[in-house]
Structure 1
């Protein structure tokens, strides 16, 4: 069959979802050729994705976790960065990196996160393209046009994670730009430069937090440091920042796209805020910002009738698993009351995202603030999608917000 999960235009046009639906309908796994590489297997069904991600002894993360990643970079951080490690080393790193994200630990930052998100929504809804509402004599007239990504959702996770790390406010825009460039820039040199700058920033920050600990995420990581070196803490700080920023940014933008296209859903949520918990889970399933996870086979194994050999690579497509009709009835319809909703938007198995609770809290705080401040959401231009095949979502979404 024709399949292309490497070309940027496929993802910019959202055609990857149709391709993966066709893959799901075929028996076994599907082999994907690679112009400049050995090729890889595609696991698209829910059960196959869970099989691959749930067995790190057979499907290793140590050789890299994404298509297009650098083999040399993976070797440098293998067993030192949580996402590029296997048990037992993975568990030791995860205990340290995950310590600040337990339910009890998050209580320390709950109010700070909610207040920061609420302030951001107030700022965005309380200004228009001409400037502060207070500067306009007709400040009560008409809806506000915003780029939901640039004005709101791109700033949302960056603001939250920077607040949790207690970074100077003047540095927040820089950190947001470097995080995005380090993951999404089409130029590999720009990605390397951005990541190098992030590492340099956090190396200095770790030194300062060790000398003067505070009530912040970096100090908490240092306190739980275990046997991690400063370099390993640095590498994993960067991973936490990237994961927290990009996933929430794209999920939030996808939610606004849905509510703009379906005003009845927004009206129903405003009328029944008790739907928020199931709505958040459906947003995560529907958007699935993390598209795939790559693993390397360590021993002969058969998955759904397909024989895989050691050294071969297999990609587990989370976005496809979350649209599998065998698990999700009417999977291509956004259903805010969907129950159960056993999505894998945060991954599966030992590598499930440590920041999932923070992500849910951010999305809940965002929609809660918007319910209070925004009566209607309507499209105001053409949505633009990113071209990446690892982390994916909207890069621009003009919307018209009518204040409540």
Structure 2
């Protein structure tokens, strides 16, 4: 098999999983060539991914965390943005950024998040008007929806914007800028989108400092620490991106599974007690964050492969989550899978600060859907992103039959 983890066409679906499965069977780490660069190492097995992500002293995040990223951009935010920092600076930033996401802090927003997700599902399932099979008269007929554009993409954006108490009229703008800043194929468009987000949060920071409220940004300001305004803005953007893109792709991937295996949806409706384990399996199965890049700081040996300072290593989380050495029958979606030691939120010091919010969003989404939707069926061809960093469906037409 020709291995190419840089080719966009490999990621227009699940072909990359076959390539990574082949790499798991090879001894040691695999050296991957790079057309315009020095190349990088690939860690594809669960234990090797844990080793790389769990040792920030040896595997640094300061030089960038993704393939195809700009070295100059990473240098500009190193040790100022949580995801591009190493201990001890990483810990100081995380204490501030993570303060609003502790279990105690989240209790303040729990009801607000659940209510917002439920309202979104009611809107998507309960309103239909048009020639595409939607309900035009309120009768319990099927509805055709884009599971991404109508639901999955709006879900995390709506939640994080509500937590930040942003004006509702700004929510579509923030959603668009967040997606463009990460996924746009044009690097200039990505820069423009991120610059606009930074400008938005700079203005918002001034308003929240003058009039604090019950919102995420006010909580960050109250947490204190030694973060400058610029660092607060950078990390707000990071939280927004992480919250939006990961949950969006996980939710869309879940609906694709239920389209392909309708018996699983029926089982979930009959046995809602499966929801907690189903959410964990969704996270393992979709693994929206495909890889994390690290730079070696000192000589080290991983799986028998000798690495030198300056070497770049990619830890493929999606491959670790399909490792048969850890997961029985890993290529089968099992909503009752337990234990489920997936790494969808990363591992080590950089484990996702918003993982509790993500789990709450997905649980609230499935809870609302199983009560309101009897069947989920495909209504068109799924369309995939071709990115090798954050990955998932960009369109998924579905036919929903209301309960």
Per the TM superposition, whether the score is higher than 0.5 is yes
Q: Partner of 1:150 in structure 2? A: 149
After the TM superposition, which of the residue ranges 173-182 and 122-131 deviates more from structure 2? 122-131
Q: Deviations over 1:174-194 (max 9, x none)?
A: 000000000000111100000
SS, match of residue 158 in structure 2 = helix
Alpha-carbon distance change, 402 to 135 in structure 1, aligned in 2, over 3 angstroms = closer
User: 1:15 Cα deviation (Å)?
Assistant: 1.1
Q: Partner of 1:247 in structure 2? A: 246
State how 1:72-83 maps to structure 2 within 5 Å.
Answer: 72-83=72-83
User: 1:201 Cα deviation (Å)?
Assistant: 0.2
SS, match of residue 64 in structure 2 = coil
Q: Deviations over 1:197-235 (max 9, x none)?
A: 000000000000000000000000010121100000000
User: 1:136 Cα deviation (Å)?
Assistant: 3.3
Alpha-carbon distance change, 135 to 317 in structure 1, aligned in 2, over 3 angstroms = closer
State how 1:2-401 maps to structure 2 within 5 Å.
Answer: 2-130=2-130, 136-137=136-137, 139-401=138-400
TM-score (norm 2): 0.98
**Which aligned runs of 4 or more in structure 1 are off by greater than 2 angstroms?**
133-137
SS, match of residue 128 in structure 1 = coil
SS, match of residue 159 in structure 1 = helix
Q: Deviations over 1:58-88 (max 9, x none)?
A: 0000000000001000000000000000000
Q: Deviations over 1:153-198 (max 9, x none)?
A: 0000000000000000000000000000000001111000000000
Q: Partner of 1:402 in structure 2? A: 401
User: 1:129 Cα deviation (Å)?
Assistant: 4.7
SS, match of residue 314 in structure 1 = strand
Once residues 47 and 67 of structure 1 are traced to their aligned partners in structure 2, the CA distance between those partners, rounded to angstroms, is: 21
SS, match of residue 328 in structure 1 = coil
- How many pairs align? 403
User: 1:142 Cα deviation (Å)?
Assistant: 2.4
Segments of 5+ residues of structure 1 without an aligned counterpart are none
SS, match of residue 239 in structure 2 = helix
Once residues 247 and 13 of structure 1 are traced to their aligned partners in structure 2, the CA distance between those partners, rounded to angstroms, is: 17
User: 1:10 Cα deviation (Å)?
Assistant: 0.7
Once residues 68 and 366 of structure 2 are traced to their aligned partners in structure 1, the CA distance between those partners, rounded to angstroms, is: 34
User: 1:3 Cα deviation (Å)?
Assistant: 1.2
Q: CA RMSD in A?
A: 1.4
Once residues 278 and 29 of structure 2 are traced to their aligned partners in structure 1, the CA distance between those partners, rounded to angstroms, is: 32
Q: Deviations over 1:117-155 (max 9, x none)?
A: 000000000122529x99934x31520000000000000
Once residues 390 and 329 of structure 1 are traced to their aligned partners in structure 2, the CA distance between those partners, rounded to angstroms, is: 26
TM-score (norm 1): 0.98
Once residues 150 and 135 of structure 1 are traced to their aligned partners in structure 2, the CA distance between those partners, rounded to angstroms, is: 19
After the TM superposition, which of the residue ranges 287-296 and 139-148 deviates more from structure 2? 139-148
- 8 Å CA contact 1:129–1:145 kept in 2: the answer is no
